[in-house]
Structure formats: structure tokens, C-alpha cells
A and B are shown apart, each in its own frame.
Chain A
Amino acid sequence: MEDELTFSDIYGGRLALLRRYYSPSCREFCLSCPRLSLRSLTAVTCSVWLAAYGLFTLFEQNKAFPAWPRVDSLNSGICRRPSGNLTAGVWLSLQNSMILSAAIFITLIGLLGYLHFVKIDQETLLIIDSLGIQMTSSYASGKESTTFIEMGKVKDVIINEAIYMSAKPRLDCLIEVYRSCQEILAHGKATPTSP
């Protein structure tokens, strides 16, 4: 049997806790985090691009005047060979395209890294009596990292600071999970072991 509750995390975002009860000795808690919002993504991309364009204009201002040839040859005392102008022009455009492509590259790599290493989609806690406790974090890019702790190594389940849980739920959600864990552990200790 399943039921779903709604909580909020420490930043005010909406968290959904899905409880599944498989049997008296096995329960699963699934905490889903708020998805990546389009607003924040657009904001970050725009700021990176604005910074890149700012740098680009800065370089153009500084380097444009000495490098480009003066159109009116009456005033200029500078007389360069045409091939020198060409290479200077090529170098300048290369510099500009380097800045812009570096910006694209940084944005892409940063987004991929964020999705793969930082943004948590869902956290699951599976308690199986007499086997152990398993915690799975699944990230937005599909990566799943699992930790399994055997029951022999678990003495008790306590509420530590919420900082350690990546989804950062508030106390009410933690109390709910804590109560269920204690029920299962008590159930496990109450049933006598077979001879």
C-alpha cells in the first residue's frame, strides 16, 4: 500500500514523500525534490552570456584601434603591409570567437556537471528488517548512487542535522520517516530469532 504526503524543504520548495508499505518487515520512503526550474536556468545562462559579451566588447575596444588600418591615408602615419592587416584581423576574430566559444563550452559543461553531480531528483530509503537499510540518491542526469548498511552494523536510527541529507527536508518530514524506522526496528527486535 502506498500513500503520499507533501512537505517543504528548508528553502521553501515543495517536497513529496511517498511511503510504500510492502510488508511488516519492509518499507520504502521516496522523497522527490523540486525539479530544475526554467527561470533559474535562463537566468544563469543569460548572465554567463552577458559576461562573455561584455568581455568581447572590452577586447574589441582595446584592440580595435591600433590593429585596424586607418581608412583615410591622409592622416595616418601608420602604413602597414596588407598581409599584416589580414593576420591581425584574423587574430582578432579568432580571439572573439574564442571568448564566445569558451562561454558556450563553460555553460554546457557547467550544466552537465550540475545535473550529473549536484541536482538530486529523488532520494529513497528502503528498510528491510534483518537485512539492512539502503539509501539511494538519483540525480537529474539519471545517475544513481546507492549505499547499503547491513542490519548488524545498525544500532539505532537518529535524526542528525538536515544538512547531511541532500534533499534538505524540514523536521516534520524527518519525524515521519524516523517514526516508521523505529517501528520496523522494534518489530525486528521483538520477533524472537529461531533456534
Chain B
Amino acid sequence: MVLKAFFPTCCTSADSGLLVGRWVPEQNSAVVLAVVHFPFIPIQVKELLAQVQQASRVGVAVLGTWCHRRQEPEESLGHFLEGLGAIFSHEPWLQLCRERGSKLWSCKVTHRQVPTSPDAPGEDQVMLIFYDQRKVLLSQLHPPTALPDHQAGDATASTRGLAAVFDTVARSEALFRSDRFDEGLVRLSHWQSEGVEASIIVELAKQASGPVCLLFAYLLSLISAASACRVFKLWPLSFICSKLSTCEQLRHRLEQLTFIFSTQKAENASQLMRKANMLVSVLLDVALGLTLLSWLHGKDRIGQLADALVPVADWVAEELQHLLQWLMGAPAGLKMNRALDQVLGRFFLYHIHLWISYIHLMSPFIERILWHMGLSACLGLTVSLSILSDIIALLTFHIYCFYVYGARLYCLKICGLSSLWRLFRGKKWNVLRQRVDSCSYDLDQLFIGTLLFTILVFLLPTTALYYLVFTLLRLLVVTVQGLIHLLVDLTNSLPLYALGLRLCRPYRLSAGVKFQVLEHEAGRPLRLLMQINPLPYNRVVHTYRLPSCGCHPKHSWGSLCRKLFFGELIYPWRQRGEKQD
């Protein structure tokens, strides 16, 4: 089998020395991590490798020699390098050689135990695969291969294929800590040998994050304790809080903030990404909210909004009144039962009249209320949208009431009709057995039953029409609220940090690798360039989406139609308290 040598691109111009890395026997591949330069003392090199092996649990060893020579081959260097094979015994021993300034490489593999077969062609023995060490170190494979626990020593045989290369490079950070400015005993060449990368801002942020997290965690614990106190568990408040979507959103945000500022460090990469995504999402939300706040509070827009609100409510009520007048007449040419029509129509008209009176009663206070609600935009845009959705729900409360009255009336009628229809045919609903049984009725039972059935049948069109009209209105309001909730959900669950990372640093999130064949000459080993294949955007969103409130409609279309037909009340969103997990 061909031997694969993974060579970092940063070492292709390094001076001659020893190759240090890890040998993966299952895939017959050697992952070169660094080059040790002359002069060195073999004992010190072995000590360094033992240290690194202990710190990172990766079987780092000397794999072979690297020779970067000038035009004329130096015979002495060649013999010297071969002699090193005796000091650092490794099976197999790799000898890579490159002429300075040219793209010609040559590789030789010597096996100590097994003699090389004479007919094995030279250039087919080794395949060189170049990789960018920094990118492979920082990248994260998706789907993440199950890494063995760090206590299990060098048992990384379970990581298959190229994931082993990524794993090796990622865990050998201890080897990359020394650079050429260090006064160490051994001179190494790797991706950080020109100077360890660090950023002052990142370091400062890391130092500051400890106390900041503690402070915020303390504040958040106070807020959660305050919100969990007994007052909120009493009946009116808990009922209202469970119905308002603002409280849901605030609770969700509080949970997210508690998670972000918890003092435990993130255990693995996915938790870190979750924290980062939540933080960016909260920051963007607050930024958008502050923009909205500044827009609202400038140029007296709140006053304009409050001035427009009462006329809009009036207009809605007037339109409803016109609708009811239309229904009380001959709507769409249908002939209604006059008495029932008048009763229902007047009942609903009186309701509207009451509602208008309440709105007019509240109109002096509306501007103040709106001003204070506008302040809540500093908590985030999602909170403002939830408040808007709640305001819509409150303003259309009379539509909801009409829908409930119409639905209940219709439901009663349908129940009565179905039961009397059974009586008409001589059957009965057996509650014990949950099925329809035949039953013999008395004559007077049959007589009254038939009478009632006839009455209900003839009153059906009127009730059905009222029910239809108010259900349509209610569905309209529900659709508008649903769109707002969708927007809020989207803002809550979009992983902005992951998307930004994919845009700016695509090598961090990788779906795999891709190879490119470099210039090839006959007689020379095959050279490939391994690059990181970034994760496509839809997979990024799918993998890293944050859990949202989960207020999705629980019904399928079929069950919705069924409920509408039988007059059962529909609750489009189950609130968090009633949701079964």
C-alpha cells in the first residue's frame, strides 16, 4: 500500500533536519507536525517529545529526515542523515528530500524488519500530501467524529481516515508553543515558529470575562429569584403571564443570558458555539431595539401613534357594526331566521358598544402607556415585536369574544343535532362502550326529539353564518399574530455567529477536505494539496440553530379543518406552561 506523508506547507522551505510527527499504522500514513533543525542533542529531542506526548496524549515520535539541499548534493550530509536512522529508530523510516528553489521532491522509505521487495517501483512508495497546519488546527469537522476520552491514552485508532489527521494536529498544541525567539534547547519549525499568534484584545477579554461573568450571573440570579417569587404564582397574574407572549420572550431571553454568563467553562466546541451564537443574537437584538427606540422617541412619533390608535380602534368597531347590520339583513341573498338573527345581532352590537366605551375611557392614558412600552425596546427588538403582538391581541379581544360565542353556539347546535339525528334513526350513544347502539324510545321522547331536531335544523344556517364570519375574522387576526411570531422565532434561532464565521473564516467549519494534484513528473512521488471544504450555509444553519420558544401551531391542516367543522375552539399556540416536553 502506498505510504501517505502529510507534510505542512510551512515547512517546505525549512532547513534540513529531523521530521517529527505521528505515525498512523492503520492508514499507513505519517503526519509530520514539525521539523527539528541542526544542531541538536538527541537526548534533548527525546525529552521534548516525551514531554509533548505526556501533555497531549499523542504518540509523537521522530519519523525520519528532511533534507533541503542546494544544487550540488552533499554526500556527507546524506550519510549523516542515514546515520541518524540508527539513533532514532522508527519503523518505517522516511527520508524526504527537496532541491532548493525547485519543485522536485524525492522520498525514500526504508523498512527495517521487512526487506523492500526489489520490484516495488520507487516513486509509487510515497505520496506527499501538503496541508495548511494553521487551518487544519483551527478547523472543526462536521459531523464531529466521536473522539475517545483523553484518559484513554493513545487509543485514537477509532478515528477513521482523515479525521485522524485533524485530531493529531489539533491535539499537538503543546508542540507548537515554542517559536524561534525562544531560548529553548531544540529548534523547531512549524506554523507558529515565526512567532506565537496572540491578540491583545482577546487576551484582555479573556481576563475580563471572569469577573464580568460573575457580576452578571449574580444580577441574573437576583432577577430570576424575583420572578420566581410567590406573587407571580397567584391565579390572576400567572394566568395573564402564561397568555402573554411578551412574558414568554422575556423568560426565554433570561434563560439564554443565564446560560451565556454561567461561570462554568464550555466543555466542548459545540457548547462554545452555542454560547457565542446566543451572545451575538442577544447583542444584535438589543442593537436593533435601541435603533427602534431612538426612532420612536424622536419627532414625537409616540404621540402620533397614540393619536392614530383610538381612531383605528373606532374604525374597526364601525366596520364590525356594518358587518353585523349586513348579517341582520339578508346577507348574500340568504334568508335568515329573523328572530334569532335579531337576537344575535343585537347581542353582538351591544358588545361592540361596550368595547368602544372602554377604549374611549382609556384614551387619555394611551400615550403614557405607549411611551413606557416603547422603553421596553431597549431590551431587544423581539420584546417589542412580542409587545406589538400582545397589543394586537388586546385590541381585537372583542373579535376573539365573538368567535368564542359563535363557536360555542355552533358547537352546541352540532352536538344537539348529531344526538337528535341518532334519535331520529332510533340509535343512542353508549358512553360506557363508546359506540353507537340501537335503542327503543318512547313515543313522547321521539316526538319531542323530532321537534327539537327540526327546530335546530332550521336555525342552523343562521348560526353557521355567524360562526363562519367570526371564525374568518379570528383567523385573520391569528395569521397576523403568527407572522409576528415567526419573525421573533427567526431572530431567536438564527445562529449569526456561525454564519459570520462561515463567511469570514470558512476553514473553521469544514464539511470535509478536497484534494488538488500539484505538478507531477514521472519518476517523482505524487504531490497533492489538501484543502478544507467549507460547510454549506444551509448545513450551518441546520447544525447550529438555537432552540426557540417552540410556539409552533400544533395542528395539522386536517385536524384544523375538522375542528373548524365541528365548532371546537382552536388555540393556535400552546404556551410554554402547558407544553409537554
Residues of chain B from 1 to 42 with CB closer than 8 A to chain A in the complex? 1-4, 27-28
Interface residues of B in 514-564 (CB under 8 A from A): 514-515, 517, 520, 526, 528, 533
- The yes or no answer to A107 lying at the interface (CB within 8 A) is no
- With the chains together, A148 CA to B90 CA distance in Å? 32
Structural contact, B517 and A136, CB atoms closer than 8 A: no
Residues of B463-520 contacting chain A, CB below 8 A: 512-515, 517, 520
Q: Which of A22, A23, A132, A134 has the most CB of B within 10 A?
A: A23
Docked CA distance A118–B113 (Å): 55
- In Å, the complex CA distance between A146 and B534 comes to 10
Tell me whether A129 and B2 are in contact (CB under 8 A).
yes
Residue-wise interface mask of B (420-437) relative to A, using a CB-CB cutoff of 8 A (1 in contact, 0 not): 000000000000000000
Chain B residues whose CB sits within 8 angstroms of the CB of A192 once the complex forms: 1
The answer to the question of A86 belonging to the interface, with a C-beta cut-off of 8 Å to chain B, is no
CB nearest neighbor in B for A20: B517
When C-beta atoms are compared, the residue in chain B nearest to A188 turns out to be B1
Query: Given the known A-B contacts A146-B533, A194-B111, are A128 and B528 also in contact in the complex, defined by CB atoms under 8 Å?
Result: yes
B173 at the interface (CB under 8 A from A): no
Separation of A129 and B533 alpha carbons in the complex (Å): 20
A12: B residues at CB distance < 8 A = none
A28 within 8 A of B: yes
In chain B, residues 123-153, which have Cβ atoms closer than 8 Å to a Cβ of chain A? 123-124, 127, 129
**A22:B517 contact, CB within 8 angstroms:** yes
A195: interface (CB < 8 Å): yes
- Is A146 in contact with B514, judged by CB distance below 8 angstroms? yes
Cα of A194 to Cα of B127 in the assembled complex, Å: 15
Query: Nearest Cβ in chain B — how far from A27, in angstroms?
Result: 10
**Does B360 count as interface, using CB distance less than 8 angstroms?**
no
Q: Which residues of B contact A194 (CB under 8 A)?
A: 1, 3, 28, 92, 111, 114
CA gap between A36 and B127 in the complex, in Å: 39
Within 8 Å CB of A148, what residues of B?
Answer: 512-515, 533
With both beta carbons as reference points, the residue of chain A lying nearest to B28 in the complex is identified as: A194
Q: Are B124 and A130 in contact (CB under 8 A)?
A: no
Given contacts A23-B124, A25-B127, contact A150 B161 (CB under 8 A): yes
Q: How many angstroms between the C-alpha atoms of A26 and B111 in the bound complex?
A: 24
Cβ–Cβ contact B28 & A126, under 8 A:
no
| With known contacts A150-B160, A150-B162, A25–B515 Cβ distance under 8 A | no
For A128, list chain B residues within 8 Å (CB).
127, 515, 528
Closest residue on chain A to residue B92 by CB atoms? A194
Q: Which of A1-49 contact B (CB under 8 A)?
A: 20, 22-26, 28
Q: Which of A26, A28, A191 contacts B1 (CB 8 A)?
A: A191
Q: In angstroms, how far is the closest chain B Cβ from the Cβ of A108?
A: 23
Could you tell me if A23 and B1 are in contact, using CB atoms closer than 8 angstroms? no
Please name all residues of chain B whose beta carbon is closer than 8 Å to the beta carbon of A25 when the two chains form the complex: 2, 124, 127, 526
How far, in angstroms, from A132 to B2 measured CA to CA in the complex?
13
Quote the shortest CB–CB distance from B526 to chain A (angstroms).
Answer: 5
Cα-based distance from A26 to B129 in the complex (angstroms): 13
Tell me which residues from 64 to 95 in chain A have a Cβ below 8 Å from any Cβ of chain B. Answer: none
Interface string of A146-157 (1 = CB under 8 A from B): 111011100000
Nearest chain A residue, comparing its CB with the CB of B125: A194
Q: Report B-chain residues with C-beta under 8 Å of the C-beta of A26.
A: 127, 517, 526
A160 interfacial contact with B, CB 8 Å: no
Taken together as a complex, chains A and B put the C-alpha atoms of A106 and B143 apart, in Å, by: 38
8 Å CB interface, A114-159 against B: 126, 128-132, 134, 136, 146-148, 150-152
Q: How long is the Cα–Cα vector from A24 to B114 in the complex, in angstroms?
A: 23
Cα A20 to Cα B92 with chains together (Å): 31
Looking across the interface, which residue of chain B has its beta carbon closest to that of A149?
Answer: B512
Closest to B160 in A: A152
Q: In the bound complex, do residue A28 and residue B533 qualify as a contact, i.e. CB atoms below 8 Å apart?
A: no
**Is A28's CB under 8 angstroms from B111's CB?**
no
- Smallest beta-carbon distance A49→chain B, Å: 33
Complex: how many Å from CA A134 to CA B113? 35
State whether B28 touches A23 (Cβ < 8 A): no
Q: Which of B27, B28, B514 contacts A134 (CB 8 A)?
A: B514
Tell me if A193 counts as interface (CB < 8 A to partner B): yes
Q: How far is the CA of A24 from the CA of B113 in the complex (A)?
A: 26
- Closest approach, in angstroms, between the C-beta of B25 and any C-beta of chain A? 8
Interchain CB contact under 8 A, A136 and B1: no
Q: Distance (Å) between the CB of B518 and the closest chain A CB?
A: 10
**Which partner residue on chain B sits nearest A150 by CB separation?**
B161
B517 partner residues in chain A, CB cutoff 8 A: 20, 22, 26, 28, 126
When distances are taken between beta carbons in the complex, the residues of chain B under 8 Å from A195 are 113-114
Contact flags B211-237 to A (C-beta < 8 A → 1, else 0): 000000000000000000000000000
Interface contact B2-A130, CB-CB below 8 Å: yes
CB neighbours of B514 from chain A (8 A): 134, 136, 146, 148
Encoded as 1 (CB less than 8 Å from any A CB) or 0, chain B from 272 to 315 comes to 00000000000000000000000000000000000000000000
Closest A residue to B525 by CB, please name it.
A23
Chain B residues lying within 8 Å of A132, measured Cβ to Cβ, are 161
Bound-complex Cα distance A126 to B111 (A): 30
**Docked pose: A87 CA to B478 CA in angstroms:** 38
A131 CA / B512 CA spacing, docked (Å): 13
Report chain B residues within 8 Å CB of A22. 517, 520, 526
Of the listed residues B114, B127, B129, the one surrounded by the most CB atoms of chain A closer than 10 A to its CB is B127
Interface centre among A28, A126, A130, A151 (most CB of B within 10 A): A130
Q: Mark out the residues of chain B between 301 and 354 whose CB falls within 8 Å of any chain A CB in the assembled complex.
A: none
6 A-B pairs with least C-beta separation: A146-B514, A150-B161, A193-B1, A23-B526, A148-B512, A22-B520
Residues of A within 8 A of B (CB): 20, 22-26, 28, 126, 128-132, 134, 136, 146-148, 150-152, 188, 191-195
Seed contacts A22-B517, A130-B28, A148-B533; 4 additional CB < 8 Å A-B pairs: A26-B526, A131-B127, A131-B515, A146-B514
Sampled A-B contacts (27; CB under 8 Å)? A22-B520, A23-B124, A25-B124, A25-B526, A26-B517, A126-B515, A126-B517, A128-B515, A128-B528, A130-B127, A131-B129, A131-B515, A132-B161, A134-B515, A147-B512, A148-B514, A148-B533, A150-B160, A150-B161, A150-B162, A151-B161, A152-B160, A152-B161, A188-B1, A194-B28, A194-B114, A195-B113
